[in-house]
Amino acid sequence: MKHIRDIFNSRPKEDGNFFIDLQRILGFKPKNMERYRIAFTHRSMNIKDQEGNPINYERLEFLGDAMLSAVIASHLYIEVPTGDEGYLTKMRSKIVSREHLNELGKELNLISHVESKIPKGQFGENIHGNLFEALLGAIFLDRGYKYCEKFIYKRVIIPYVDIEKLEGKVISYKSLLIEWCQKEKKTFDFDVYDDTGNDEMRHFAVKLSINNKVVAKARATSKKKAEEKAAKRAFFAFQKSISKII
C-alpha cells in the first residue's frame, strides 16, 4: 500500500490552487494538507491506507460534528445563564440542524473541492453539511481546539446565532406537531403513499389527519419531505395553539 501522502500526491488536483482556496475559506494557513485532502475525499474513491483502512471524510465528519456541538454548547451556556438543560439542547439543535449545516457548506462551495467518482450533480443535499463537519474535524486535528473554535465563531456563531430569533425557529414541523398532539391528547396519522403523477422523479404524497380529520396534504420526492411539508401546513393552520409549546 502507498503512504497516504503518496496517494494524494498522485491526484490530478493542483495542490497550489487547493491550498490558496482553502486558506481563503479558513482565514489562516493550514499546516498538514493531508488532513484537508481527506476532508474532501468521498468514499467512492475507494482509497485505503497501509493497514487497509478506508480513507475518506466520514471519520472527520464524526469528529467535526462533536467539535461543533461542543463549541455551540459552550457559547449557549455562557450567553444564556438562565437556560435549563432542555432549553440549551433545543437551541443547540436549531443551530446545528442539518438544514443549516447544508447552507453553510453551500455558502463556502465546499463541494467544488470534492474528490469523487460520483458526478457532483448526483449528490444529495446533505453532502454540503457533511463536508462542513469534515472540514471542522480537519481543522481540529491540524491546528487544535482554539483554531477550530475561532473558525466556528467566524462562520457560524457571529453571522447566524441570534438567541431571540432562534427561540422562535422551528427545526421540524413534524416533531412539533406530534408534541402538540400528544400534549393535547389528539390522535394523528401520516398516511403516505406513492404518487406517480407525471413527474420523471418518483414522488410521495401524504395526508395528515388529526382526530380522524384530514387537515393537510403534501407531496415531495421522499416520504420524510412529504410528511414535513404536510406538518408545516398543519402548523400554520393551528399556529396559535402550537406556538405555546415552542
User: Which residues have a catalytic role annotated?
Assistant: 65, 133
Task: Please name the residue that has the C-alpha cell 389528539.
Answer: 186
Give the max Cα distance, the chain.
63
- Dihedral of CA atoms 14, 17, 18, 19 in degrees, nearest 10, equals 120
In whole angstroms, give the CA distance from residue 58 to residue 238. Answer: 40
Bridge partners (DSSP) listed for residue 193: 205
In whole angstroms, give the CA distance from residue 50 to residue 37. Answer: 17
DSSP 193-239: EEE-TT-SS-EEEEEEEETTEEEEEEEESSHHHHHHHHHHHHHHHSH
Are 156 and 145 spatial neighbours (Cβ–Cβ below 8 Å)? no
For strands 203-210 and 188-195, give the pairing: antiparallel
Identify the burial level of 220 via C-beta atoms within 10 angstroms of its C-beta, where 0-12 means exposed, 13-18 middle and 19 or more buried. middle
Identify the burial level of 81 via C-beta atoms within 10 angstroms of its C-beta, where 0-12 means exposed, 13-18 middle and 19 or more buried. exposed
Are 132 and 64 spatial neighbours (Cβ–Cβ below 8 Å)? yes
In whole angstroms, give the CA distance from residue 183 to residue 98. Answer: 26
